[in-house]
Amino acid sequence: MEFLFVILPLCFFLGIDAAVFTLENKCNDIIWPGIQPGAGRPQLMNGGFQLKPGETVTINAPTGWSGRFWGRRGCSFDVSGKGTCQTGDCGGVLECAGAGGVPPATLAEFTLDSPLDFYDVSLVDGYNIPISIAPSGGSSTCQTVKCLTDLNQHCPDGLEMKKNDTVIGCKSACLAFNKPEYCCTGVYSTPKTCKPTVYSKAFKLACPLAYSYAYDDGSSTFTCQKANYSIGFC
């Protein structure tokens, strides 16, 4: 009985019945993916790492994992893993270790085994890099979801985040203006009162399958079952 007691947790640790995430850098420059787990869920890859152009990294996620992935750009870290990123920074460290990315940041979000897998690409925190999610080997209504339009080149006036006159990110209207009608707060905190705005409509036009604002569930949440997922940057 002691032997069985050891083997069963080991099998769980190795990822039996888990999803596999494959992250691929399709960009022409280095990116630094960030990973933030949901509350009570384990860290994956200590929350962050470097990914050179053309490189891929495969990550096993345990059953029931939830969290988000995003790409950081323009980063510089010293040998201790301290530094900064121009977009998506998670506190000036290479390994985010539970911290989220500073907006604007394009997000790939997952909730696994609930009982289906729920996933989406979100622009609710703005945009900094193209992202795609491609399921494989799953059942149910699995669908590739992507936001590959370069919103940095088509960012609505007033939402641009610039460095040396170059747009490096596109803020959400909530971040840019901090008004309840854009943040879906206060009297605008329900789906009935918080409606699409000219800014969220511009995001939706550029990326029809992505979340454009907080209550954009109907056309932006997707499900799959027992799949693996490829997350592409650019």
Least confident window among 11-20, 72-81, 100-109, 215-224: 11-20
Q: Is the alpha carbon torsion for 80, 81, 85, 90 positive or negative?
A: negative
State the pLDDT at residue 13: 41
For the segment 73-80, the average pLDDT, to the nearest whole number, is 97
- For the chain, how many structural domains are there in total? 1
For the segment 158-184, the average pLDDT, to the nearest whole number, is 96
Q: Which domain holds residue 20?
A: 2-233
Q: What is the average pLDDT score of the chain?
A: 92
Torsion of CA 65, 66, 68, 69, to 10 degrees: 20
Using only the alpha carbons of the chain, give its radius of gyration: 18
Q: Tell me which DSSP letter residue 38 carries.
A: P
State the pLDDT at residue 191: 94
More confident residue, 222 or 141: 222
Could you report the per-residue pLDDT of 126-161, keeping only the tens digit for each? 999 999 999 999 887 899 999 999 999 999 999 999
State the pLDDT at residue 17: 53
- Which residues contact residue 186 at a Cβ distance below 8 angstroms, ignoring those fewer than 6 apart? 180
Tell whether the model's pLDDT for residue 50 goes beyond 50.
yes
For the segment 95-118, the average pLDDT, to the nearest whole number, is 96
Tell whether the model's pLDDT for residue 233 goes beyond 60.
yes
Contact 107, 129 (CB under 8 A): no
Torsion of CA 180, 184, 190, 192, to 10 degrees: 80
Kindly report the CATH number assigned to the domain that includes residue 7.
Answer: 2.60.110.10
Tell whether the model's pLDDT for residue 180 goes beyond 80.
yes
- Do β-strands 19-25 and 228-233 pair in parallel, antiparallel, or remain unpaired? parallel
State the pLDDT at residue 217: 84
